Structure 1
Amino acid sequence: MAAMTAVTEPFAGPVEGDAQRLGELGYEQELKRGMGVFDSVAMGFATISPVVGLYAVVLVGMAVAGGAWVWVLPVALAGQCLLMSVYAELAGRYPLANGAYQWSRRLVGPRYGWFNGWVALCAYAVANTTIAYLGAPWALTLLGITATPGAIVLTGAVLVLVCSIINAFGVDALKGALRLGVGAEAIASVGIGLALLLVFREQGFGVLTDTFGAEALSGGSTFGALLAALAVGGWAFIGFDATVAAAEETKGAAKHVPRAVWLALLTVGALVILNAFATTLAHPNPADVAAGKDLDPVSTAVVASFGGWSSKPFAFVVLVAFIACGMAAQGGTSRGIYSMARDGVLPGSTFLRRVDKRQAPIGGIVATTLVAWAGLLLGLEATAIGSLITFGTAAIFVAFLLIAIAALYARTQGMLSPRGMVLNVLAVLWLAFETVNIAWPRASLAPLDAPWYQVWAAPMVVAGITVVGVLYLAVAKPHAR
């Protein structure tokens, strides 16, 4: 009952103690509050991940817009900073796990909050599968095993299990592993990026405005090609809300989580942009990427610059980045499940809200593992896993958009400060545009000769989870609990 009362009670002012603030919001302290501000930053940094983010965008970006693709990254980062102005405000006001659910239900209402929580959980469940699937080939490279579909799925399942075990050992184990992973990734990203840019640059700066004819995939329109590249660029700047997912385990959360969200996004954003420019300028022949002849431009640039000996160490660095990303993403998803389940609004909430003796959300961790394994089975069919990856990013932006709309609505009702109105409106406009841009059915962003349903995967699956969510709301009425 206290949790439902908190929905309509705005925060009146600062209070003493994280547990006291959590109690005011309707919950007891069940998770271990053992993370400092650096650990909070590490959660967001690892989930966004400069290495994973770059690998997610560079090939497709260059394929649709040539060397000119790099200019959409600052635009995408600026758009996400508009969202961040809203995120940081809400993270300080309501330092709770699963902002999509908790913030939305307090600012608009329980139906709206449940639906946004549902969309966000679906999106991040898919993200866990994606991270494991894309990280598996790097493990196979190190082991010298051919990356067949079956081998990728099996290796991905092992990566999911490793990340889940670390999460199950509690927040102390998680933050220790993240410190090692993020430290190695940050050093490698800065070192490799600067070396490629300052020592091994092969191309003149004119390559950064050359599309190499890639606009042909967008009907010959350079503007259309850049829009497609901007859709891809949005993939690189998501995951920062893992810091919010760990809010109930962060000391001084109301103060530190808003700062951590900004630090995670801006540091990763700077590294992604640095390495995107460096990779494009150090690549021996960027036109090959645009023509579809080079399917791994980052490795090509690194190995061509540092020599053949670097292929294995580079693969190791990338694998470390994927494991760190997987740990943080699974940690965020499991805490998101726990946050909703303790309100009794999910099927199986009694199990899903379970916290073990290490004060880890073990019910959510088990569920996250099983869902990620189930998703990996789609990796046996390339078109199926491709559709899953496309949907995941679109759904994440839908959740972002719903949060920004909730905050804007709350400002009109006097629940949030009117001083943030302009940035909030701009955030809604950006997110609405980018959500449509990402979900827009483009053949240029699908594999060659992809079936129609893969091209339309994002809007179709978003529509599907919307229908399922609305039906569940109508039949089960979780908001009434």
Structure 2
Amino acid sequence: MSTTQPSTALTRTLKLPSLVLFGLAYLTPLIVLGIFGVIAQETGGASASAYLVALIAMLFTANSYGRMAKAYPVAGSAYTYVRRTIDGRVGFLVGWAIMLDYLFLPMVIWLIGGSYLTAQFPGIPMPVWILGFIVITSALNIIGIKVADRANFILMSFQILVIAFFVALSIASVARADGAGALFSSGPFVGADAGFTGIAGGAAIAAYSFLGFDAVTTLTEETIDPKRTVPRAIMLVALIGGGIFVLVAYVTQLVHPGGSFTNPDTAAFDIATQVGGNIFGAVFLAALVVAQFTSGLAAQASGSRLLYAMGRDGVLPKRLFGALNDRFKTPVFSILAISVVGLIAMFMDVATSTSFINFGAFIAFIMVNISVIVYWAKERREGRQHNPLFYLVAPTIGVVVIAYLLTRLDIHAITLGAIWVLVGVVILGFTTRGFRRQPPELAVDSVD
């Protein structure tokens, strides 16, 4: 299979429904149950509030991503937006920070999936499951985004069906035990002893579940009418995903009030067995594994597009990362690079591998919000007016809220993230001869 330089144009095939499905697949709606116990414990039983706060924070940032996607309809996400509006060197550092998500998130997803399967089938070593995830998702992404899109639709349908059954069974369980009136309660929002600090800490964790809406922007160059479609998809993904998260957290918290669990990591599986019996518990476990596969498919696709954009810029070796495969028109080398990083999952645990992912996301979110403000100011100086509510007020609120959530991250996440950024600063200083020149510019300034 050869990768050559001449073909550098991605094919436009995606419409709004496909983009929304892609974003929701990246979000992995079922993850709200996968980490429910952790958030409920952090918030003292107010997990619904944590997701509501995270949703509000993400909507401000989703607005900013939509504004930037409309202004610069090219692949690259936060990396592209910051370098276009602020400075190429700052853009490089943002791209470097967001690589924490795009490079390591697939690895974490495959590791979690492997952990579920190993617990169920202890006779099969976890590396076998991880390799299986990597090989299948890589093959689908290499063949092309349309094939991955079809797989996303099938797997997302199953995932949504399991969530619907879980919600229905939870409602029936609560109504049967305490009457229909118990379905309307402030408990999931206020908890037993929840305070603002605890809810904010829970929201910082819950924000991990929202990382998919910004991944939509990495498929801009494969989207039909991107200036209109991508902003709508971003907001819809955040709204739909956030609505699912709040609803599921609410009904789950009704079934199990408070934040005390024997094992927070498996709390949702225990609740699923409680409301639906062993058969539904088995289906629920299968759905969690499917959710990890679906999310890994989307995460690898978006990560490879970021590497492709940086390779096309010349920030990464162009002959490797900036090339598309002649047959499939996909960035094969970038996809395989994500696969190689995923192999690290064989030697790591979930806690260590996930500790610093949110750091990179929050840095990117803050800088995209700032980019909208800078863009608004530049456009205003040139006589072009934009609504200050969407281009100034909302992004400013987004910066403040996300910056606060950043301070609520675990100290280890902040330390590891800071080290990663420092390495990026060193690399940038070397490649720009002491920051005296800009990193290589993008060859194509806009894509119609």
TM-score by length of 1: 0.81
Q: Alignment partner of 1:268: what SS?
A: helix
Whole-angstrom distance in 2 between the partners of 1:320 and 1:251:
29
Q: 1:57-68 alignment to 2 at 5 Å?
A: 58-68=36-46
Partner of residue 29 from structure 2, selected from 50, 54, 79 = 50
The answer to whether the 8 A contact 1:170-1:358 is kept is yes
**1:37 counterpart letter in structure 2:** L
Provide Cα deviations, 1:394-418, integer angstroms capped at 9, x if missing partner.
2111111111112212222226725
Provide Cα deviations, 1:321-353, integer angstroms capped at 9, x if missing partner.
11111100110000010011011111x331112
The answer to whether the 8 A contact 1:91-1:244 is kept is yes
**1:169 counterpart letter in structure 2:** I
Partner residue, 1:280: 253
Partner residue, 1:450: none
Whole-angstrom distance in 2 between the partners of 1:51 and 1:480:
40
2:275 equivalent to 1:305: yes
**1:236 counterpart letter in structure 2:** S
Question: In angstroms, what is the RMSD of aligned CA positions?
Answer: 2.3
Partner of residue 100 from structure 1, selected from 78, 102, 117 = 78
2:64 equivalent to 1:86: yes
The answer to whether the 8 A contact 1:41-1:263 is kept is yes
**2:202 counterpart letter in structure 1:** A
2:110 equivalent to 1:145: no
2:370 equivalent to 1:405: yes
Partner residue, 2:212: 239
2:321 equivalent to 1:352: yes
**1:159 counterpart letter in structure 2:** F
Partner residue, 1:162: 136
Q: Alignment partner of 1:307: what SS?
A: helix
Change in 2 beyond 3 A, CA 1:462/1:101: same
Change in 2 beyond 3 A, CA 1:295/1:241: closer
Change in 2 beyond 3 A, CA 1:426/1:173: same
Provide Cα deviations, 1:365-416, integer angstroms capped at 9, x if missing partner.
0111111212x1442xx4xx42330200121111111111122122222267
2:431 equivalent to 1:466: no
Partner residue, 2:260: 290
Q: Deviation of residue 112 (structure 1)?
A: 1.2
The answer to whether the 8 A contact 2:201-2:405 is kept is no
Whole-angstrom distance in 1 between the partners of 2:192 and 2:56:
26
Q: Alignment partner of 1:240: what SS?
A: helix
Whole-angstrom distance in 2 between the partners of 1:127 and 1:331:
12
Whole-angstrom distance in 1 between the partners of 2:265 and 2:335:
34
**2:215 counterpart letter in structure 1:** A
- Please say which of residues 325-334 and 300-309 is displaced more in the overlay: 300-309
Q: Deviation of residue 194 (structure 1)?
A: 3.1
Q: 1:28-43 alignment to 2 at 5 Å?
A: 30-43=9-22
Whole-angstrom distance in 1 between the partners of 2:187 and 2:55:
22
The answer to whether the 8 A contact 1:136-1:156 is kept is yes
Partner residue, 2:226: 253
2:439 equivalent to 1:480: yes
Q: Deviation of residue 157 (structure 1)?
A: 3.2
Q: 1:380-391 alignment to 2 at 5 Å?
A: 382=349, 385-391=350-356
Partner residue, 2:104: 126
Q: Deviation of residue 236 (structure 1)?
A: 2.0
The answer to whether the 8 A contact 2:23-2:213 is kept is yes
2:188 equivalent to 1:208: yes
Q: Deviation of residue 230 (structure 1)?
A: 2.1
Percent of matched pairs sharing the same residue: 22
Whole-angstrom distance in 1 between the partners of 2:160 and 2:341:
30
How many residue pairs align between the two structures?
418
Whole-angstrom distance in 2 between the partners of 1:200 and 1:299:
17
Name which structure has the greater RCO, CA cutoff 8 Å, separation 6+: 2
Change in 2 beyond 3 A, CA 1:210/1:43: closer
2:178 equivalent to 1:223: no
- Please say which of residues 103-112 and 229-238 is displaced more in the overlay: 229-238
2:249 equivalent to 1:271: no
Q: Deviation of residue 210 (structure 1)?
A: 6.6
Q: 1:448-467 alignment to 2 at 5 Å?
A: 456-467=411-422
Change in 2 beyond 3 A, CA 1:359/1:413: same
The answer to whether the 8 A contact 2:71-2:227 is kept is yes
The answer to whether the 8 A contact 1:181-1:321 is kept is yes
Change in 2 beyond 3 A, CA 1:210/1:78: closer
Provide Cα deviations, 1:454-473, integer angstroms capped at 9, x if missing partner.
xx321111111111111111
Whole-angstrom distance in 1 between the partners of 2:270 and 2:142:
37
Whole-angstrom distance in 2 between the partners of 1:225 and 1:139:
32
Provide Cα deviations, 1:83-129, integer angstroms capped at 9, x if missing partner.
11111111122111112111111101211111111111122212111
Q: Alignment partner of 1:159: what SS?
A: helix
Partner of residue 167 from structure 2, selected from 181, 187, 193 = 193
Whole-angstrom distance in 2 between the partners of 1:32 and 1:226:
43
Partner residue, 1:320: 290
Whole-angstrom distance in 1 between the partners of 2:319 and 2:139:
21
**1:31 counterpart letter in structure 2:** L
Q: Alignment partner of 1:342: what SS?
A: helix
Whole-angstrom distance in 2 between the partners of 1:227 and 1:294:
19
Change in 2 beyond 3 A, CA 1:418/1:293: closer
The answer to whether the 8 A contact 2:77-2:218 is kept is yes
TM-score by length of 2: 0.87
Provide Cα deviations, 1:406-457, integer angstroms capped at 9, x if missing partner.
221222222672522111111111121112222xx4xxxxxxxxxxxxxx32
Partner of residue 72 from structure 1, selected from 50, 53, 67 = 50
Whole-angstrom distance in 2 between the partners of 1:264 and 1:154:
33
